[in-house]
Amino acid sequence: MTSSVATKVDVHLNGTVVSRDDWVAPEEPLEIQVHGVSLAVLMRTPGNDLELVSGFLLSERIVESLDAVESIRHCTTVSSPESEDNVVRVVLKPAWRASHSLTPRNFYASSSCGVCGKATIDEALRTTKPVTSSFEVATSLLQELPARLRQRQPMFEATGGLHACGLFDAQGAEFGAYEDVGRHNAVDKVIGWAAGQRLSFSDKLLVVSGRVSFEIVQKASAVGIALVAGISAPSSLAIRFGEALGVTVVGFLRGSSTNVYSRKHRVR
């Protein structure tokens, strides 16, 4: 796990100023290259980069399965010291390359926006198929999951500056949880890890530590996850496309209260 970064801070309180040490969440760019061509630059928290890239390839529909991937590794030759550990190179299998055309995206994605590099929403949805799943979950179990996810957020406890995402099944079993400065990066890390473990997504749900945005719903639908729950509010676009893409969107998952916004039949 990547360590938090030490810094000095002046705390202004009740007319006094106190200087002290503080800890902040690290944020650095990660360049993803496919066959040596830059595909994207993500602003992320370093750590679990290979899982992040695997999840990005799947959730952005660049590949349909990790079976198309020959290797994912950090680049050992970089042009500057700042690029060290911040470039991941992907090689796709020849059979996939022969039957698909890879269009370079060359987009920059900030830690707050996973859809920034797409020209239009139509483009973002072009290759996404609606989720068809008989998945259901009890409200009482959903309401237990935020507290369990919080237990898997050590860097948030230290810095207060990271999002988290956890993957669970309808019985409450946990299948991975990750933190990142970008909520969509945390989602990709979970998806990439689970795909590497050859886990099924159709019987799982995602819990995110903040709001449910469009890009999180889009990423979930891309791998067949039928339910996304957030501790905070969903956006209007997340609700709209949750309905269109067959994804149940749950928000304000706090204590004994739960709001279900789309595909409501999955929450009992």
Of 63, 87, 122, the last residue of a domain is 122
How far is Cα 98 from Cα 43, in angstroms, rounded to an integer?
A: 31
Q: Are residues 210 and 147 in the same domain?
A: yes
State which of 88, 122, 156 marks the end of a domain: 122
- The answer to whether 27 touches 41, Cβ cutoff 8 Å, is no
Last residue of a domain, one of 91, 122, 153: 122
Q: Is the pLDDT of residue 173 over 50?
A: yes
97-130 pLDDT, tens digit each:
777 766 555 445 555 555 554 545 566 566 577 8
**Do residues 165 and 260 share a domain?**
yes
Residue 229's CATH number: 3.40.140.10
pLDDT of residue 156: 81
Specify whether 103 is located in the same domain as 68.
yes
* 126 vs 143, higher pLDDT: 143
**Do 220 and 228 contact (CB within 8 A), yes or no?**
yes
Q: Rounded mean pLDDT of 79-104?
A: 77
Please check whether residue 62 is in contact with residue 37, taking contact to mean a CB–CB distance below 8 angstroms.
no
Whether residue 72 lies inside any domain: the answer is yes
Query: Which positions are catalytic?
Result: 113
Is residue 158's pLDDT more than 50?
Answer: yes
Does position 94 have pLDDT exceeding 80, yes or no? yes
Question: Which residue range forms the structural domain that includes residue 94?
Answer: 28-122
Q: Is residue 19 part of a domain?
A: no
- pLDDT value of position 154: 85
Return the CATH number at 41: 3.10.20.10
Q: Is residue 232 part of a domain?
A: yes
pLDDT in tens, 180-191: 999 999 999 999
Q: What is the pLDDT of residues 219-230, one digit of tens each?
A: 999 999 999 999
**pLDDT reported for residue 121:** 57
In a domain, 134, yes or no: no
Mean pLDDT of 141-162: 89
- At 265, is the secondary structure helix, strand, or coil? helix
Does residue 15 belong to any structural domain of this protein?
no
Are both 183 and 225 inside the same structural domain? yes
Query: Is the pLDDT higher at 134 or at 159?
Result: 134
- Say yes or no: 101 and 175 in one domain: no
Total domains in the chain come to 2
Q: Is 39 found in the same domain as 108?
A: yes
Beta carbons within 10 angstroms of residue 239's beta carbon? 19
Q: Are residues 168 and 248 in the same domain?
A: yes
Tell me, yes or no, whether 214 lies in a domain.
yes
pLDDT of residue 56: 95
Position 151 pLDDT exceeds 80: yes
**Tell me, what's the pLDDT at 70?**
96
